[in-house]
Amino acid sequence: MQLKNIQKLELPPTADMHVHLRQDGMMKLVTPTLSSGGVDTAFVMPNLVPPITTVERVVEYQSQLQALAPNVKFLMSLFLHPSVTPEVIAQAAAAGVAGVKMYPQGATTNSDNGVANLEAFYDTFAAMEKHNIVLNLHGEVLEALAPPGVTLEEAFLPTLKQLHERFPKLRIVLEHCTTAAAVEAVRACGPTVGATITAHHLYLTSHDACCNPFAFCKPIPKNPTDRDALIKAVVSGESKFFFGSDSAPHPLQSKTSAEQGKAPAGVFTQPYVTQLVLLALEEGIERGVIAETDVTQEKLEGFLSKFGRRFYGLPETSESKIVLERKGEKVSASVKTEDGSIEVGNSRADDVVFSLRWEAV
């Protein structure tokens, strides 16, 4: 496939295995944008205010999302917290909850109630292993705990290995991996361990994240070599690596009014997620990181759609498809509510992307 010269692509709907859809007005604004980005299956993060720690609340949240996007399959998660006991895990499994997300305390948006000591949760992990609930890791250590010169993600990787060794049947996802070292660490684990890769970490580096609030997120994008290792993992055809956008909307105001380096962490990609992955791959080809021949129909389908579904035990076929065509469409500046009270800036505003539409198979 010569991506650059391809005018029209047909793909199965994208499975986005890491999304932030928020609550209230923001939820109403961003949830419908899943379909413009080609997504029919979404794994939803629980870092709301307050975080989602009960089965009752997660079920309620799921029905709110379902009402806003009836054609999307929502995979739900709980926020790892002392109140998420082995009994709660059993209830969660019965309610069809797919995962439990671990946030290190204070590492990112709405994570003040996160985890300080993972060992305190070993009974919960054992229950998750038994009930086949996935452990989703925000794989970073706190700044104070990383040795000088070692990224927060790299400093976390030994913990990933230990958890996998202790709970070999527990399915674990290293979320939004950002370093070449993380890709290797995930490869070195058995088949129960996978990783999501975002769209934005395929095109941002620390250089962008330092100074542009719309490129600032956690984990911080790393250096060009890391970005390129992620691009290579995307086209490796290895089913351990699948798409999870970590699209994280914040009010435009909070991004533009923040002092340098103080903007809330999160890059909003949802309305164009599939298109942005394709754009990043094209740029990877242009830079010579990957070859034209590395991007095949099969690899795109695997990374964007099939591998994530496979990891979560979902069917890999669908009744609809997405059709992507080059029509000169540009990423819009933002999405906003009709009354303009909530507005979120899009990543890569003004860049030319494929136009996307849905068709029945």
Contact residues: Zn ion, CB under 5 A: 246
The option from ligand DOR, Zn ion, none interacting with 217 (CB < 5 to 8 A, set by class) reads ligand DOR
Closer by beta carbon to ligand DOR, 138 or else 306: 138
Closer by beta carbon to ligand DOR, 172 or else 285: 172
Shortest distance (Å) from residue 109 CB to Zn ion = 8
| Cα dist from 317 to 11, 41, 324, 330, 355, whole Å | 11, 12, 18, 30, 23
Helix/strand/coil for 252: helix
Shortest distance (Å) from residue 326 CB to ligand DOR = 30
The option from Zn ion, ligand DOR, none interacting with 238 (CB < 5 to 8 A, set by class) reads none
Helix/strand/coil for 337: coil
Phi, psi of 100 (to 5 degrees): -130, 125
Closer by beta carbon to ligand DOR, 108 or else 270: 108
**Alpha-carbon gap, residue 163 to 60, rounded angstroms:** 31
Shortest distance (Å) from residue 138 CB to Zn ion = 7
Cβ neighbours of residue 152 closer than 8 Å, sequence gap 6 or more = 107, 140, 141, 142, 143, 146, 219, 220
Closer by beta carbon to ligand DOR, 26 or else 323: 26
Helix/strand/coil for 96: coil
The option from ligand DOR, Zn ion, none interacting with 265 (CB < 5 to 8 A, set by class) reads ligand DOR
Closer by beta carbon to ligand DOR, 3 or else 204: 204
Shortest distance (Å) from residue 192 CB to ligand DOR = 23
DSSP state of 179: S
Shortest distance (Å) from residue 190 CB to ligand DOR = 25
Bridge partners of residue 224, in order along the sequence: none
Return the amino acid letter for 333: A
Positions in the binding site for ligand DOR (CB under 6 A): 20, 47, 108-109, 138, 217-218, 246, 248, 265-266
